[in-house]
Amino acid sequence: MTISSLQPYPNQILSTRLTASANRNILICLFLRGGADGLNVVVPHGENAYYNLRPTLAIPRPDDNRVNKGLRTLDLDGFFGLHPALAPLLPSWQGQKLAFVQACGTPDQSHSHFEAMELMERGVSDKNGPASGWLGRYLGLTPPGSALRAVSMNSRIPRLLLGSVPVAQVDRITDFNSGSSIQVREKLQKGLGTIYRAASPLEKSGRESLDLLTKIAKLSPSSYQPEAGVRYPDSEIGGRLRQVAQLIKAEVGLEIACIDLDGWDTHFGQGDNLTDLLSKLGLALGAFYADMRDYMERLLVITMTEFGRRVQENASLGTDHGQGSFMMLLGGGFKGRKVYGRWPGLGSQQLVGPGDLAVTTDYRDVLAEVLQNHLKLPDSKSVFPEYNPNPHWK
């Protein structure tokens, strides 16, 4: 790593002007931390080896009459099917707004969360290359926009957003409005309005912060009304997506929102854990899809995860770190109702490393297309300087 590749630490809230950018497309990136088991999400129910290698954890075939219907795979295309907990996503699948990429991932073979996540968030193949995140670089390469242009919905800024452009952390802004005396806070806010007035960068940044506080205060979560009949679940991801929906509809210039979801490292007792995680995700995304129908053409939700899991289940009713996993795409601007990616198979000759699903689509092949088609970046090379995306991943 050289100094020139380092960006200033961007844990800063503002430096751009608070203007809504005119209807730019929006990307919502969900990072499933821990290595999500793509094989039990987009289930290859047409593959016998899947059932042989996972005698207890495999999701039953769609026509497996021995088990309750609610526990069976929901068929998608005759070969792949969805985990039943993702049933709330079926309307978007039928509406051709949902697609998956199976056997997708990074070339990293470390099986280390830290390394794989770091490489994936930086969008690089090894320790060399830029230290910033791939979305951070995208932000730096495109015209400035609103102060709420890029937000992290979590309490930290994920590495993929690090770069030269400041990223807002929504809870840090809303936190300001809670937990201390209202009278003192109001006095403070008014007082700062009068003393941050000079032209210096610091005072300019101060005025923008004040603007942002005012703007966010009007967007209290309790005041948000989703579309009729839509109810976001009470889960953390439900709350985050509800907040994203509110920001989008308020037209504050949001372009990128990142949400981290923890808990996907299912070494033990995977069955119930994964069902719970997927059911939360499915319900929240289902509500988001119903709530945001009018915005779908401008929207794209993607999921990422640092790696998939070993094909063969382990002795603790779980799965260990593997390689190939999946990506989900929900939104407009692409052909949905399809599982993309070349299926490598699960035969003993087809597995790689210690028994992992091979990666046939590099995650950057998908991202390059997201950057160019959805976010209108002329050339993804500027974001992935050392990677030549394969345009034929579909």
Partner 1 sequence: MAERARVSAIGLSQWIEEQLAPNTLDDSATALRVRRFDSLIMDTSVIFDVREENVRRELQQATLLRAIYSRRQLYELMVDFWSDHFNIYTLKTGCAWHKTIDDREVIRPHALGKFRDLLWASLHSPAMLVYLDNQDNKKNGPNENYARELMELHTLGVNAGYTQQDVHEVARCLTGLTVSRPPYLGKFKFEAALHDGGDKLVLGQKIKGGEGELEQLTDIILKHPAIPVFISRKLVRRFVADDPPPELVNEAANTFRRTDGDIKAVLSTILHSAEIQNPTLKLKRPFNYMVGALRQLNAETDANPALVEMLGRMGQPLFQFPTPDGYPDTSSAWVGNLITRWHFALSLATDSLPGTKIDLARLTKEAELTNNPTLDNAISRLSSLLLGKELPAQDQTALVGLWGNTLDETGLRAALATLLSSPYYQWR
Binding site for partner 1 (CB under 8 A): 1-4, 6, 8-9, 11-15, 112, 114, 127, 131, 155-156, 159, 166, 169, 172-173, 175-176, 179-181, 183-185, 187-188, 190-192, 194-196, 198, 200-203, 205-206, 209, 212-213
How far apart CA 98 and CA 92 sit, in angstroms, is: 6
Which residue lies nearer to partner 1 by CB, 11 or 68? 11
Which residue lies nearer to partner 1 by CB, 158 or 238? 158
Look up residue 292 and give its two tokens.
């945001």
Which residue lies nearer to partner 1 by CB, 205 or 246? 205
Which residue lies nearer to partner 1 by CB, 43 or 173? 173
Cβ-contact 160, 146 below 8 angstroms: no
> What's at 216, amino acid-wise?
I
Which residue lies nearer to partner 1 by CB, 201 or 229? 201
- Give CA angle at 156 (225, 108), nearest 5°: 115
Which residue lies nearer to partner 1 by CB, 9 or 143? 9
With a CB cutoff of 8 Å and minimum separation 6, the contacts of 85 are 274, 275, 276, 278, 279, 282
Minimum Å distance from CB 11 to partner 1? 4
Minimum Å distance from CB 207 to partner 1? 10
How far apart CA 319 and CA 322 sit, in angstroms, is: 8
CA 263 to chain centre: 14
Q: Choose among 102, 87, 95: nearest CA to 286.
A: 87
CB neighbour burial string for 273-303, b if at least 16 within 10 angstroms, e if fewer: bbbebbbbbbbbbbbbbbbbbeebebbbbbb
Minimum Å distance from CB 187 to partner 1? 4
Minimum Å distance from CB 213 to partner 1? 7
- Give CA angle at 293 (287, 299), nearest 5°: 95
Distances (CA, A) of 356 to 46, 216, 221, 314, 381: 18, 45, 43, 13, 29
Minimum Å distance from CB 228 to partner 1? 35
Minimum Å distance from CB 240 to partner 1? 18
Which residue lies nearer to partner 1 by CB, 9 or 229? 9
Which residue lies nearer to partner 1 by CB, 94 or 155? 155
Q: Choose among 311, 316, 304: nearest CA to 267.
A: 316
Which residue lies nearer to partner 1 by CB, 56 or 200? 200
Minimum Å distance from CB 113 to partner 1? 8
DSSP state of 159: G
Minimum Å distance from CB 205 to partner 1? 5
Is 13 exposed, middle or buried, given 0-12, 13-18 or 19+ CB atoms closer than 10 A? middle
Minimum Å distance from CB 15 to partner 1? 5
